Structure 1
Amino acid sequence: PPAVKHPGCGNIVTFAQFLFIAVEGFLFEADLGRKPPAIPIRYYAVMVTMFFTVSVVNNYALNLNIAMPLHMIFRSGSLIANMILGIIILKKRYSIFKYTSIALVSAGIFICTFMSAKQVTSQSSVGENDGFQAFAWWLLGIAALTFALLMSARMGIFQETLYKQFGKHSKEALFYNHALPLPGFIFLASDIYDHAVLFNKSELYQVPVVGVTVPIMWFYLLMNVITQYVCIRGVFILTTECASLTVTLVVTLRKFVSLIFSILYFQNPFTLWHWLGTLFVFIGTLMYTEVWNNLGTTKSQQQKADKKN
């Protein structure tokens, strides 16, 4: 709801999420700063710089004629970004089945991107110049999403390297990833303040059970912070318990549920072509993960058989 009623409110939403998680982590994980980190702070500093950049760029993309469904679908292309950077940085090579699954994901994103481009152009009926300007802003939004996608994949590779070297510490990583970027919000203070004023002017809402009356946008923000905390806490824990691609699958399915909810509840425009593109994205994601797991199991079984022989 905050992003729908105020599309430019991403910074205040992100700041509230970071602040809540940082305070909770400082109290219960860092033990009021008395517990030293298992991973050196300098590595967390690099990680949170990338994390903060990705969050801010993704927020600003919503101001650049990027619809929320397209925003969700585009970010589901994390497998593509991971594969590309894995080939470039880690010199990995993949089977034809993995490339096929990535092709499906790419086709799905292309279809949704192309159809959204047509919607942006058609919705700008004021004049040719206005239509071109809207399309130019949309292209800039696509470029921002692409940059954020690649940066996020690079952060994943960096995080995987740290976990291999120092061990997996999900609660610690959750705390430092949200506490260290907080000073960066000083540069966004003006925007955060402006939206806080807008939130104060929103219609009043009586919170159920408690009976307290507050501006409805602050209630929406509180619900967003709580649900986001539960979600991100689960993801960080999942990274220590499951393989990285299993985590990717779970996160992708979560995005799919969010996408369906966004379309049905907020009545976002979604054509048959968008559904087809979405289908390609998630079939490709499921296929990629299933093929990886099957190949991993087969290899493990083969190694056991070789040992027995």
Structure 2
Amino acid sequence: MHRLMQVRKEPDSGLLITLFQFVFTCLSTLHYQFDPNGRYYMRSSPVPFRKWCVSAALFFTVNMMNNWAFAFDISVPVHIILRSFGSVTTMAAGWLRGKRYTPLQVFSVAILTAGVMVSAWADAQSKGKNMNTSTSDTSNSSLQAGLVILLVAQLLSAWMGAYVEDIYRDHGKDWQANLFYSHLLSIPFFAAFAPVLTSQFARLRASQSFEIPPKVGAALPPIINSLLASTSQHVIFLTANALTQLLCITGVNMLSANTSAVTVTIVLNIRKLPPSNLD
């Protein structure tokens, strides 16, 4: 959610935010796979390398499409509502891959999805957020393109969830390896966007330095104060965002290794409920 808000606020920085998150996660999880005696200093994995490549390609594509959608007049509430179909699409992907679900499971997912959609819509209305800012034919066309992008991303995400579930079933539930390789093998794809990333990074470095509140500064060592004062505030925010995303995606991977893809999307759907509706 936090990254959605950041990308919506500064859509031109979405690519850089995503790259930084991928690199940060990759470096933070390197110790899981590092082996000084292994080939390429990596711990051997029972999962065929090509399967990690497929998983990473799907992961990268889904992330890029979700970010890209914001360039087509897609508001955050609409984004959340469309992604609430995750349980439905994941169940459909599982069915196509041979899984079968009971009528009670299907009904439960349908009720949950409808509840999250209504809740997100009501929360947006109560806070005065626009669900649809389109006012012209051009804007409507842009919105429709964004909706198609989100729909395709949702379908790919569902297929990815089912694919990773099959990997865990066939080769063991090594969620640390999935977390590492899905990010590591995605990074080379960013090379195609090098000019855009260079421009975004230049703007990021040009932002004003981080301002430390006096009370906070008094409690910090001088060297930390000096480091923060000489660092762009956007770099600080970018790092904080990457850290929160690392915590989030680590939890998602741990959950996916211990339950089904449908259950994971159900938990993520519940997470989308506004806090006031969870009291």
Q: TM-score range by the shorter chain?
A: 0.7 to 0.9
**d(CA) in 2 for partners of 1:97, 1:244:** 13
1:70 aligns with 2:78: yes
- String of CA shifts for 1:1-24, please: whole Å, max 9, x gaps: 632441232211110111112122
Deviation larger for 200-209 or 77-86: 200-209
- Give the C-alpha shift of residue 109 in structure 1: 4.5
Alignment partner, residue 63 of structure 2: 55
Q: Percent identity?
A: 25
**d(CA) in 2 for partners of 1:138, 1:152:** 21
Alignment partner, residue 299 of structure 1: none
For 2:45, which of 28, 32, 37 is the aligned residue? 37
Give secondary structure in 2 for the equivalent of 1:222. Answer: helix
**d(CA) in 1 for partners of 2:142, 2:156:** 21
Alignment partner, residue 209 of structure 2: 204
**d(CA) in 2 for partners of 1:215, 1:164:** 45
Query: CA, structure 1 residues 245+80, in 2 after alignment: closer, same or farther (shift >3 Å)?
Result: closer
Alignment partner, residue 119 of structure 1: 132
**d(CA) in 1 for partners of 2:31, 2:104:** 49
Query: CA, structure 1 residues 143+164, in 2 after alignment: closer, same or farther (shift >3 Å)?
Result: same
- String of CA shifts for 1:59-79, please: whole Å, max 9, x gaps: 101111111222122212111
Tell whether the 8 Å contact from 1:117 to 1:135 is kept in structure 2 after alignment: no
Paired residues in the alignment total: 252
- Give the C-alpha shift of residue 104 in structure 1: 6.2
Alignment partner, residue 182 of structure 1: 187
**d(CA) in 2 for partners of 1:203, 1:4:** 21
CA RMSD of aligned residues (A): 2.9
1:17 aligns with 2:34: no
Alignment partner, residue 227 of structure 1: 244
1:3 aligns with 2:13: no
> Would you identify which runs of 4 or more consecutive aligned residues in structure 1 move more than 6 Å?
115-118
What is the one-letter code of the residue matched to 1:98? Answer: V
What is the one-letter code of the residue matched to 1:251? Answer: L
Which runs of 5 or more residues in structure 2 are unaligned? none
**d(CA) in 2 for partners of 1:97, 1:176:** 32
Structure-to-structure mapping, 1:92-107, within 5 angstroms: 92-95=100-103, 98-99=106-107, 101-102=109-110, 105=113
**d(CA) in 1 for partners of 2:92, 2:42:** 41
- Give the C-alpha shift of residue 106 in structure 1: 5.3
What is the one-letter code of the residue matched to 1:17? Answer: Q
**d(CA) in 1 for partners of 2:271, 2:131:** 27
For 2:159, which of 150, 154, 160 is the aligned residue? 154
Query: CA, structure 1 residues 117+242, in 2 after alignment: closer, same or farther (shift >3 Å)?
Result: same
Tell whether the 8 Å contact from 2:7 to 2:13 is kept in structure 1 after alignment: yes
Tell whether the 8 Å contact from 2:8 to 2:70 is kept in structure 1 after alignment: no
- Give the C-alpha shift of residue 86 in structure 1: 2.8
Alignment partner, residue 268 of structure 2: 251
The TM-score, its normalising length taken from structure 1, stands at 0.72
